[in-house]
Amino acid sequence: MGAFALIVGLLSTSFTTTNIPVTLREAACEAGGRLVDHAGGAIGFYFLLFTVAISLYACSQVLAGADSRSRSSGSRRCSRSRRQDEVARRPLALAAGGAVAIAFTVAFATWVGAASQDAHVSLARMLEAGANVLPTVFWFLAVGMLAFALVPRWSTGIAYGLVALSFVWELFGALVGAPGWLLDVSPLHHLALVPAQPFRLDSSAMMLAIAALASLGAVKAFARRDLAGG
């Protein structure tokens, strides 16, 4: 992802209205309210794609970690509360930490590429773009963990399906004339295209609040069932 981000930065100044297909311009305009015919807009649109990729990574890590620990918990002699802590909290922390590392690596690599092309995008704004994706990533991460706690057999499909459906709906929902309240269902619809757009503090706070509640719900749900037999 860092290598791809570097390429995005290197190509950020090459986007114009003449070399971007009309359908892509319309989709980008509807999705984020800005055309991708300048460096900041192009980078902002690609960070929407990075958000999807990092969300998929986070879901894969937390589900794999939780599943591995729930299978191994029966073979270890430890208290039930300790198993709950390991199964519910440690995978969340590891996945969240990995997502943070990837987001800022992508932001820095994009800035390096853009700076080499005199794209006039500051490092501070690129780091802000990296931070901007994290509330949405944490939303998908926490909801995926909650799904694993409640319906483990369906959790993989729920976690990956939410990310995929949100992305598809974000790209094509407005194009098919969907009402605003229905577009708001997608977490990606609340994502600002930083650095082309300002950081949305209210939307980010909302995503983080939902993620915190979902994480707490996952921990509580693990506390109500026997993971060793589960």
Q: For residue 97, which amino acid is it?
A: G
Task: Please tell me the predicted confidence (pLDDT) of residue 142.
Answer: 93
Range of the domain at 15: 2-229
Closest C-alpha to 53, from 204, 160, 190: 160
In the chain, the percentage of residues whose pLDDT exceeds 70 is 77
Give 21 or 201, the one with higher predicted confidence.
201
Task: Please tell me the predicted confidence (pLDDT) of residue 13.
Answer: 85
Question: What's the rounded mean pLDDT across residues 189-216?
Answer: 92
Q: What is the pLDDT of residues 66-92, one digit of tens each?
A: 555 555 554 444 445 455 555 567 778
Residue 230 has pLDDT above 70, yes or no: no
Q: What is the pLDDT of residues 33-71, one digit of tens each?
A: 445 557 888 888 889 999 999 999 988 887 775 555 555
Of 37-41, 79-83, 148-152, 165-169, the range with the lowest mean pLDDT is: 79-83
Residue 133 has pLDDT above 90, yes or no: yes
Q: How far apart, in whole angstroms, are the C-alpha atoms of residue 71 and residue 87?
A: 10
Length of the chain: 230
**Across the chain, what does the average pLDDT equal?**
81
- Per the structure, the count of domains in the chain is 1
Of 25-39, 111-125, 188-202, the range with the lowest mean pLDDT is: 25-39
